[in-house]
């Protein structure tokens, strides 16, 4: 008998492929610290290699407002914090699932999922934080392509970042603005990232061996720009080395590092949008030691090398963690 707080044992030998695949995810965020609205439009299809069964989506501390299948309302039930859908199309053809939820980032003190730190929004989704953003198959073997639209008050959150390439941005009514990001590479939910706030960036353009131009950015709080040069130099060296040594060029138009003072991980390799604690980004000769400089170079390189080894090629399950971290 399990007591409250005890974890259920998960065994590697019990691995079963998901009953559904998620091919595309279109996320729209209306960012507000007290009540952020998240519209999640997904394209799913049954995994015909697995016996037909209900779709069980992970969720945690979410307020569910609407569920639509192919544009129509549908019945659902809750199993603990899982959202269970039984009346889904039976064939192998893709179908659309739309889920509208709200969450409270300002009250999220776990620093998992979407949270607020120093009046800015950040995410942390490894290993199981994405379920605190929307209902999803929150496991590393479900790979989808993501389109993300962020909307927020422009004065409070002038910088709006997510994974991939920035394809559109503009003004909205009421002093708000938006940014639309498309990640062309399929990824598991644990590599999703979002940042919004008052940040400034050190920028550097580089050209790959194939002649493609890329934009590198290191985002920090205003006032910390004089401590970003070493992190940028470390990032440039990492990009050049991965392509020269392994033939693995940067596969996005830009690569971003963001420093935050509130973070519960060493650093996070989200696809194209790495989030670091400040100690692994900020350094200048007046305050940093040789060890600080060495640690920044090491961690920046480690997280950048995940761009291929761990992100493009990633885990089937969390028992394989050492394969990407080693």
Which contacts qualify for 203-206: CB closer than 8 Å, 24 or more apart?
204/232, 204/236, 206/236, 206/239, 206/240
* Whether 312 contacts 324, CB under 8 Å: no
Q: Provide the 8-state DSSP code for 61.
A: S
| Total length of the chain | 326
**Omega before 256 within 30 of 0, i.e. cis:** no
Residue 165 bridge partners (DSSP): 182
Cα–Cα distance for residue pair 309/311, rounded to 1 Å: 6
User: Do 17 and 141 touch, CB atoms closer than 8 A?
Assistant: yes
Phi, psi of 54 (to 5 degrees): -65, 155
The DSSP secondary-structure symbol of 175 reads G
C-alpha 91, offset from chain centre:
31
Kind of pairing between the strands at 20-30 and 36-46: antiparallel
Phi, psi of 101 (to 5 degrees): -135, 170
With 0-12 / 13-18 / 19 or more C-beta atoms within 10 angstroms meaning exposed / middle / buried, residue 94 is middle
Q: Which residue has the tokens 């390439």?
A: 165
Which CA distances in Å does 217 have to 57, 94, 182, 321?
Answer: 35, 37, 17, 28
303 catalytic, yes or no? Answer: yes
Taken in order 31, 35, 41, 44, the sign of the CA dihedral is positive
Catalytic residue among 61, 173, 303, 325: 303
By annotation, the residues acting in catalysis are 303
């Amino acid at each position: 008998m399990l007591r409250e707080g005890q974890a259920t044992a998960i065994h590697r030998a019990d691995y079963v492929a998901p009953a559904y695949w998620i091919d595309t995810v279109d996320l729209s965020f209306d960012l507000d610290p007290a009540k952020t609205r998240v519209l999640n439009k997904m394209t799913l299809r049954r995994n015909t290699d697995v016996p037909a069964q209900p779709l069980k989506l992970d969720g945690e501390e979410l307020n569910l407002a609407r569920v639509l299948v192919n544009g129509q309302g549908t019945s659902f039930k809750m199993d603990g914090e899982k959202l269970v859908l039984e009346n889904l199309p039976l064939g192998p053809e893709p179908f659309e699932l739309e889920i509208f939820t709200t969450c409270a980032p300002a009250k999220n003190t776990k620093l998992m999922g979407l949270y607020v730190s120093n009046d800015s929004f950040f995410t942390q989704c490894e290993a199981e934080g994405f379920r605190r953003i929307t209902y999803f198959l929150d496991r590393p073997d479900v790979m989808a392509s993501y389109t993300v639209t962020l909307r927020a008050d422009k004065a409070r959150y002038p910088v709006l970042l997510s994974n991939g390439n920035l394809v559109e941005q503009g003004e909205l009514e009421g002093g708000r603005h938006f940014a639309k990001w498309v990640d062309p590479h399929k990824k598991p939910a644990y590599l999703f990232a979002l940042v919004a706030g008052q940040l400034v960036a050190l920028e550097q353009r580089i050209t790959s061996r194939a002649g493609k131009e890329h934009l590198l950015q290191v985002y920090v709080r205003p006032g910390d720009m004089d401590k970003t040069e070493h992190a940028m130099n470390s990032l440039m060296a990492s990009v050049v080395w991965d392509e020269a040594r392994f033939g693995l060029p940067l596969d996005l138009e830009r690569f971003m590092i963001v420093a935050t003072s509130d973070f519960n991980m060493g650093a996070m390799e989200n696809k194209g949008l790495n989030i670091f604690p400040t100690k692994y980004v900020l350094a200048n000769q007046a305050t940093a030691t040789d060890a600080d400089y060495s640690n920044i170079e090491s961690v920046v390189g480690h997280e950048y090398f995940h761009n291929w080894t761990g992100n493009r090629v990633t885990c089937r399950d969390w028992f394989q963690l050492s394969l990407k971290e080693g």
